[in-house]
Amino acid sequence: MIYSRIVGTGSCLPPKIVTNAELAAQMDTSDEWIRTRTGIRQRHIAEASQTSSDLALPASREALSAAGLAPSDVDLIIVATSTPDYVFPSTACLLQAKLGIKGCPAFDIQAVCSGFVYGLAVADKFIRSGQHKCALVVGAEVFSRILDWNDRGTAVLFGDGAGAAVLRADSRPGVMASALHADGSHAGILSVPGNVCGGKVTGSPFLRMDGKAVFKLAVKVLDEVARETLAQCGLTTRDIDWLIPHQANARIIQATANKLGIDASKLVITVDRHANTSAASVPLALDLALRDGRIRPGQRVMLEGVGGGFTWGAVLVEM
């Protein structure tokens, strides 16, 4: 049998940090208002010249270095992003060129905040097919570009960044199970309802969100999809060593852990310093916990995403 394993991870965060206090000087909000409702203290914001592929590049190089591999070893590139560099070509193709490699398939996945989990599940299946041996999966976002900075209900929630993981074919299971879902009937509760037509923006180019509806649905589906993924392996929530949910809101993360019966000590939380980086949030958190030694070889990690679409999914991995 052919399986896939995560053999390296990497991160990239723009150097510019914007604190809650700095946002409070620009809009009707406060550090206390943001922290008590979201758990966020600060976020990283890309410079105007930085694109998603610019952030993806150092994250990818770091992941390849951690894996002891060269870009030429990669035979599949998947980039999860809702903020691509261009309409086309894909951010994955642009990243491929920046890595200096040619020929392997490269494509984007658009599942918003579930994007990295979707990408990981897809890459695992490509490797299990036997046609690919080394996949680079990246979540990269510059969400600051699609925020209405006059709307305190959304602007304070998001940040920019990129996280990457390298999957390699192996005889031992690394990716143990995955489950992906979507329900387009919930599109209205989290969206950027605009597009470009005839050189002009039609609709709205800014993120719109019904926070209460997102909270309720997110906790429900994150609980369900984690249990569904565990059931594929004959495991229960007691078998999880670490839970890394999408880093959208500290209250969503804690409510999900409570519903699953997982102790807070098993949570990896980065939303306080990164804010919501959409598709980048899960790989950023995974990389941090691997590098600081919390996640150790042989441990089981549940990765979960939920986002606009509405999309959700989970991947259980053994490190």
Location of structure tokens 């990246």: 138
* Set 93, 134, 186, 276: catalytic member: 276
d(CA 279, CA 2): 27
* Set 113, 132, 249, 274: catalytic member: 113
Location of structure tokens 């489950």: 179
113 is catalytic: yes
274 is catalytic: no
Structure tokens at 97: 């060129």
d(CA 114, CA 278): 8
Do 96 and 104 contact (CB within 8 A), yes or no?
Answer: yes
* Set 44, 132, 246, 274: catalytic member: 246
171 phi and psi, to 5 degrees? -85, -10
276 is catalytic: yes
Do 14 and 47 contact (CB within 8 A), yes or no?
Answer: yes
Partners of residue 158 on adjacent β-strands: 276
DSSP letter assigned to residue 237: G
The sign of the CA dihedral 309, 310, 316, 319 is positive
Q: Which residues are catalytic, by number? A: 113, 246, 276
